[in-house]
Copies of this chain bind each other. A is one copy, B any other.
Amino acid sequence: MSHVTLRDIAKKADVSATTVSRALNNKPDVSSKTKDKILRIAKNLGYTSNLLAKSLRSRKSKTIGVVLTDISNPFFAAIAKGIESAAHKRGYSIILCNTDEKYEKEEEALQVLVEKRVDGLLITPVQKEYQDILRIKERRIPLVSIARHFDTIETDSVVSDDVLGGFLATEYLIKKGHKRILYISGPLHVSSASERLKGYKRALKKYKIPFKEKLVRGYTAKMGKAYTLTRRILKEKLDFTAIFTFSDFLALGVMKAIREEKLKIPDDVAIVGYDDIEFASALEIPLTTVHMPKYRLGTEGTNMLIDEIEGRSTHRKPQKLVFKPELIARKSA
């Protein structure tokens, strides 16, 4: 017999399964004598409650689904850590899924998570489409969008003000005397990327620098792609003196390409990243960047979600939490 059940204990203790259940769950209406007896026997038998059965019965799985685009990216890894920690503190486990920035994978992940009856969902949506999200909403499964948000549909969300962040980064470079600033963007269907671009444009406008289409490139989230792209751009002799990258992760690839061309940072090319990942400060040339409270994005998102799940929040409207980003000036610009 692999797993001990309430019945097994009940038999040994010569009581009903109901009583065992009560004793094990610290419910009232059990004499301390029988309770002690039951607890002792449960321990001897090595009883472990079956949460599948419990969940089926209670309609609560104490599990939340976490859908991220890439855990090996330190930005998401930090968020994941915050999520795990907050979830654990409140007694929840997390099922983690990677989407690789692909909508079909997101769709599939959500499907399985619903089948596994997670109590709620935390997601950095791919945003190429969002019907899968709508389906979740229809089912009234609590969902919190992290680090990204939708314009067209309403969901709870925990984000940072990316327009402001893009503005701060660009303004910083402008104040350092740069006028031709290259923006290596993330994919534009991702809200954080498009909003940082908006902030970039806004800063240019404020300082009366004309916006140039050709100074926006990339549309990727991958470090390797940022590297090859930068190499190509450097060959093109594109005219710029500074680069603002969508993320520190991309900045790493960009810096590598620049170094290979023997250009000096920040003298030949100034660089401002985004996210303030742990390594940003450990680099040979510490990276000037926009700080994102990654860990807190994770913890706050999780708490918002669990409040929703447990009905503490009876908000009719979607909850929104928006952090204010800050520029961290270091050596790269």
A interface residue numbers (CB < 8 A to B): 2-3, 46, 48-53, 55-56, 61, 63, 70-72, 74, 77-78, 80-81, 84-85, 88, 93-98, 111-117, 135, 138-140, 223, 227, 252-253, 255-256, 259, 278-279, 281-285
Q: Given A50-B117, A84-B71, A282-B252, check contact A96 B94 (CB 8 Å).
A: yes
Complex CA distance for A61 and B281, rounded to whole angstroms: 43
Complex CA distance for A56 and B51, rounded to whole angstroms: 9
Which residue on chain B has the smallest CB distance to residue A265? B284
Instruction: Give min CB distance, A241 to chain B, whole Å.
Output: 20
Determine whether the beta carbon of B81 is less than 8 Å from that of A223: no
Q: Which of B50, B93, B98, B140 contacts A97 (CB 8 A)?
A: B93
Show 26 A/B contacts (Cβ-Cβ < 8 Å), sorted by A.
A2-B139, A46-B135, A46-B138, A48-B111, A48-B115, A50-B56, A50-B115, A51-B112, A51-B115, A51-B116, A51-B117, A52-B116, A56-B56, A63-B95, A71-B77, A72-B81, A74-B74, A84-B98, A85-B98, A93-B116, A94-B96, A223-B278, A253-B282, A259-B284, A283-B283, A284-B284
Copies of this chain in the oligomer: 2
Contacts of A256 in B (CB 8 A): 281-282
Which residue on chain B has the smallest CB distance to residue A73? B77
Contacts of A49 in B (CB 8 A): 115
Instruction: Give min CB distance, A143 to chain B, whole Å.
Output: 15
Instruction: Give min CB distance, A249 to chain B, whole Å.
Output: 9
Instruction: Give min CB distance, A65 to chain B, whole Å.
Output: 9
10 nearest CB pairs, A to B: A284-B284, A72-B81, A252-B282, A51-B115, A77-B77, A96-B96, A52-B56, A51-B116, A256-B282, A72-B77
Which residue on chain B has the smallest CB distance to residue A286? B256
